[in-house]
Amino acid sequence: MTWKLPFFRNRKDSEQRKYLKIITSEGISGVLLAGLIGGPFLTGYMLHLGASAAQIGVALAIPAFANLAQIFTAIVTHNIDNRRAYVFGYGVMYRLLWVMTGLIPFVLPQSYWVYTFIILYFLSYLCSNISGVIWASLIGDMVPAKVRGRYMGIRNTIVGGLAAAAVLFGGQLLERYSQEKGFIILYSLAAVCMVWNGYHLFRYPNIPFEKSKESQKLKLLLKPLQDRSFMRATLFLAAWIFIQNVAVPLFSYAMLDVIKVSIQWVSIITTVQMIVMMISYYVWGNLNAKYGTKKTLMWTLPIIAASCMLWGGIAWLPAIPVLVIVHVLLGIGTGGFTQLTFNFTIEDSPSAERTIYVAVYAMLTGFTGFIGPILGGEIYHQLKTMPAWMEQYGFSAMMGLVLLGIAMTVGRAMLLSSNPAGKPERTTMVRNKKKELLG
């Protein structure tokens, strides 16, 4: 007797189950690529190229900044007929440009290495976000609403576990070989994952979708801006991401270049974070289905704040165990935050205007998320003139206190009261509908 995941047990797959399998398979190849050359290895590779803290901050801000492209993409493509072609074309270009950064030391003089990396990485994420806004719309139609929260939890658990394995493998590889040889191997494997991912993107269906009846682009843009519930939550999340990104994206930099933790230990700590995140996806998915998206999203915020505050433990305890605990909490918090904000943009948007809702969210959070790491990188540069403890753990701990205060005050007000009176969350409506069907 063979065991299958809950969504894949029927002997003859329906169209929807085929879609779920494609989404999962594509996610696996995508996260393996990101696990091999992203995360701590992106920071490590930039240090290998000779980047400063400020330059690393700029690079870490690029994924968020590239979100700004989504608003233009959504306006131009809101009524396109072939969503699959956009997802495939820009999805392949995104990963191709990222993998091409591995060629920089072999084709350019050293003085151009860091700037070329930043340019290619920016173009890569520009393609990613053009693809992403349409991908979110397509996923909204491929995954039935009644199983979306639980399915995304299971999918993210699977791909998260494989991503964690990729990070652990990469750390051991870089510890065993020289950085030059190690990164050659990692980028070669990433190139294989790029081809594999392109195959799965090609298999996505081109599902017909409900088109917006609004033909004027300005009025289309105003629809999410006039949605009070959506905008209250979005503006708060944009502010949260800004403050969070001043500290969290630079955790790897602080470990590698400030505390001088070996890249092997950084990869192990990051793997622990990803394993915890993998497990948390399933838990958050079930909590999402039971309690609703915004309420569950609120619960993730104090956990992220606590992960920053616990950096202060380095003042009394050895760094490694403290950093492991920090990243366990970070995995729990960011795992839920990432999954639930995605569900929030899908659930709080009408099907016909989903791309523009996703794009407005991405534009606002992208702008604040872009500023955060740049400011954080500059702060770390200035901290070099201050007492060592401020750079090592003081700054992160203080940012955690700020985040906790915001979560328990503004966060509660914006998220828990963001639904207009008389407008229950989707989970409540689904639950009531089930009761009606059962008589």
pLDDT digits (tens, 9 = 90+) for 170-226: 888 887 887 788 889 999 999 999 999 899 889 888 777 665 555 556 666 677 777
CA-to-CA distance for 170 and 260, rounded, in angstroms? 18
pLDDT value, residue 430 = 42
pLDDT value, residue 272 = 85
| Conformation bin of residue 334: beta by default, left when phi > 0, alpha when psi is -120 to 50 | alpha
DSSP letter, residue 213 = S
| Non-local CB neighbours of 307 within 8 Å, separated by 6+ positions | 248, 326, 327, 329, 330, 333, 400
Decide if 77 contacts 355 (C-beta within 8 A): yes
In the chain, which stretches have pLDDT less than 70? 1-13, 71, 74-80, 145, 148-149, 209-221, 346-353, 417-439
pLDDT value, residue 95 = 92
Q: State the amino acid at position 93 in one-letter form.
A: M
pLDDT value, residue 428 = 43
CA-to-CA distance for 22 and 339, rounded, in angstroms? 19
pLDDT digits over 108-150, tens only?
A: 998 899 999 999 999 998 888 788 777 877 877 787 767 766 7
DSSP letters of 104-149?
HHHHS-GGGHHHHHHHHHHHHHHHHHHHHHHHHHHHHHHS-HHHHH
pLDDT value, residue 74 = 67
CA-to-CA distance for 92 and 46, rounded, in angstroms? 23
Instruction: Reduce the DSSP state of residue 52 to 3 states and report it.
Output: coil
pLDDT value, residue 435 = 42
Token representation of residue 361: 């969210």
Pick from 218, 228, 236, 232: nearest CA to 337: 236
